[in-house]
Amino acid sequence: QDNSDDAGGVHRITPDGGPAPGNPFLDTSGVNDTFYTTGNRNIHGMTIHPETGEIWSHEHGPRGGDEINIIRAG
């Protein structure tokens, strides 16, 4: 994965569009500093769990391997 590319990850930003404080890649050279997660593929939907507040995502591909993931930093 090309971590300098905007695709393939979940971004966490401030209201003005800058990287959010505490993003895991703020001090990593060559990585987009708005990334909160990397290595995602074709996220189709996201939701917030009503009890835990966790963010869940759904990924899918043309050959199966569909996934439900909990979004965590890194």
Per-residue pLDDT reduced to its tens digit, 22-61: 999 999 988 889 999 988 888 999 999 999 999 999 998 8
For residue 67, the cross-strand partners are 59
Model pTM above 0.95? no
Does residue 4 form part of some domain? Answer: no
State yes or no: pLDDT of 1 exceeds 80: no
Does residue 13 form part of some domain? Answer: yes
Does residue 42 form part of some domain? Answer: yes
Does residue 2 form part of some domain? Answer: no
Domain of 63, in residue numbers: 9-70
pLDDT band for 6, please (50, 70, 90 cuts). Answer: confident
Give the β-pairing of 43-48 and 9-11.
unpaired
